[in-house]
A and B are shown apart, each in its own frame.
Chain A
Amino acid sequence: MIKPLTHFPSDSDKHLGASSDFLIIEDLTKTYRSADGNKSVVLDNINLKIGEDEYISVIGHSGCGKSTLLKIVSGLEKASSGSVRLQGKEIRKPGADRMMVFQHYSLLPWLTVRCNIRLAVDEVLEHVPPVEKSRIVEEHLAMVNLTAAADKYPDQLSGGMKQRVGIARALAIRPKVLLMDEPFGALDALTRGKLQRQVLDIWESHRQSVIMVTHDVDEALYMSDRIIMMTNGPAATIGEILEVPFPHPRNPQEIRESHEYYEYRNHALNFLDRHFNREE
């Protein structure tokens, strides 16, 4: 089920190479109406453009609506006003071109690792012949080093392995945008580091548009090209955008040894501190 990209494919193809108009978020707001009729503004006036092969992090304190923003891009939640356009096409509902990697993995516990990935492939790449589907599944199992665990059930896996399945499942259906909601948030520090490395390796060899929600400044600095720093809710918005100019492929040790790393890190931490104090 590969869908036409836009109404004018030739036109948009010209765009893609050069500009960052791949994914455009415009004047986005999200308001919840609580039971007593009061409105609470979660996201206010978000404007953002993301390039076709750009790795973006969204960082902010808990409850600042960064997950909501991701859900709106995925289509799982609707914006109250404003628009999100992917290659010029307005996003109205969930779709496999914007695949999510969930914080708590969301693997189906009654399916083996291989079948979890296969389920997504079966659903999205409907018209691909079965042999090719199997090849895609095996390729992505290998990509996250899970070939040996392919016939295990999620209950038998560690958190890091589960999340690798989640990532393989997301990548196997070849989304245009990969959305990751605190993908490493539930992992221990060692596993987290390893998995960050793996994901970045994969991304560096198959570049694509990624939006990653995180609350870890080091993770954002290590992995992404730009860091979107959100102000605190209610009515959270983009406070600042930090460009991370380290060239890819990145080496975490080298980056940490560089002088700029600490400037960026302090800058980001100060931003977060400032917005934390304001609320207290």
Chain B
Amino acid sequence: MLLYAIQTAVVAAHTTWQKYLRPAFLRDAILLPLLGFAFLIALWWVVATFVTTLLPTPAEAFIDNLDYILNPFYRRGPGDLGIGWLLLASLRRVFTGFLLGSLVAVPIGFWIGASKKAMMAINPIVQILRPVSPVAWLPIALAVFNLANPSAIFVIFITSLWPTVINTALGVSSVSSDYLDIARVLEMPRWRQIYKIILPASLPYIFTGLRISLGIAWLVIVAVEMLTGGIGIGFFVWDEWNRLSLSSVFLAVLVIGLTGLVLDILLVQIQRIITHRPVQQS
């Protein structure tokens, strides 16, 4: 009897975990990624050991960073903050700039996508300014605002504009004519067509633009903070280099990468909730 109970329990556990214990799953989702990371760490180890003496080995870096990892939110003085605070400061700049940029970019993109004349007028500006590294705007922003923080936010604002403008315009101009035919047959007034048909139909494109924008904004904030200083993960990287504390730089790289990944996942979740449609991963 007991044997039977154990047997059923084992079978139940087996069927539940079957999916995760299947050899193919183990290999594809755990072993191969681990192998990739192992290779990277090995490369780091080789470079740190044989090529340069400045770099810590992975083990040294881990020990050096234990304090940061265990106490991300310490405050030990005006400039001495845990890496969590630095991350939050950078995120605040990115979110502020990204939100302001999106608030401007979505309507402009909508306008360009809907009107040929607006496209003619605005598209050349977009095409010329888009390839410019957003960091190039920093001196202009500093001249206007005279302060580091608003300037950094302004650079993120500029960064967030282009991909969202372009993708929104593409989305609006490629709304299926079937949907517009429905709107016409139902005799929808123009403004209702915009918010009941065109806006929801182009939301997937708008979100693609937002995701690219946020991704680039997160890249750019590190560079901007290196230049402006102050509190932030980007300046942290530069500051630690100046102190030749490269272990911290490795930690910062990992934190920046993970944060970028989390930001993208969050945006995908928001898109899924709002559009009710599966999201294409890029």
Contacts and interface: CB of A to CB of B under 8 A. Distances in A.
A261 interface: no
Contacts of A74: 185
Contact of A1 (B187, B275, B276): B187
B178 A120 contact: no
A104 B197 CA distance: 17
B185 A99 contact: yes
Contacts of B186: 96, 119-120, 123-124, 173
B185 A98 contact: yes
20 contacts: A75-B184, A75-B185, A76-B184, A76-B185, A93-B184, A95-B185, A96-B185, A96-B187, A100-B181, A106-B179, A108-B197, A108-B201, A109-B276, A109-B277, A110-B275, A110-B277, A119-B196, A120-B186, A155-B277, A173-B186
Contacts of A173: 186
Interface residues of A, number: 25
A251 B188 CA distance: 40
Given A109-B277, A120-B186, 19 more contacts: A76-B181, A94-B184, A96-B187, A99-B185, A100-B182, A102-B182, A106-B178, A106-B179, A109-B276, A110-B201, A110-B203, A111-B200, A119-B186, A120-B182, A123-B186, A123-B187, A123-B188, A124-B186, A155-B277
Interface of A: 1, 74-76, 93-96, 98-100, 102, 104, 106, 108-111, 119-120, 123-124, 153, 155, 173
Interface size of B as a range = 20 to 34
Nearest to B178: A106
B254 to A, nearest CB: 38
Q: Which of A104, A108, A153 has the most CB of B within 10 A?
A: A108
Nearest to A95: B187
A153 B196 contact: no
Contacts of B277: 109-110, 153, 155
A250 B201 CA distance: 41
Contacts of A100: 181-182, 185
Given A109-B277, A155-B277, A94 B185 contact: yes
Contact of A110 (B181, B185, B187, B276): B276
A1 B187 CA distance: 10
Nearest to B181: A76
Interface in B176-230: 176, 178-179, 181-182, 184-188, 192, 196-197, 200-201, 203
B181 A153 contact: no
Interface string B129-151: 00000000000000000000000
Contacts of A96: 185-187
B182 A108 contact: yes
Contacts of A108: 179, 182, 197, 200-201
A275 to B, nearest CB: 29
A94 B186 CA distance: 8
Name the residue among B176, B185, B196, B201 with the largest chain A CB count within 10 angstroms.
B185
A119 B179 CA distance: 12
Contacts of B275: 110
Contacts of A104: 178
Contacts of A98: 185
A120 B278 CA distance: 25
Contacts of A124: 186-187
Contacts of A76: 181, 184-185
A1 to B, nearest CB: 7
B40 to A, nearest CB: 39
B1 to A, nearest CB: 44
Nearest to A3: B187
B188 to A, nearest CB: 6
Nearest to A173: B186
A83 B188 CA distance: 24
A106 B179 CA distance: 6
A26 to B, nearest CB: 22
A8 B192 CA distance: 32
Closest 6 pairs between A and B when the two form their complex, measured CB to CB: A106-B178, A123-B186, A94-B184, A110-B200, A94-B185, A106-B182
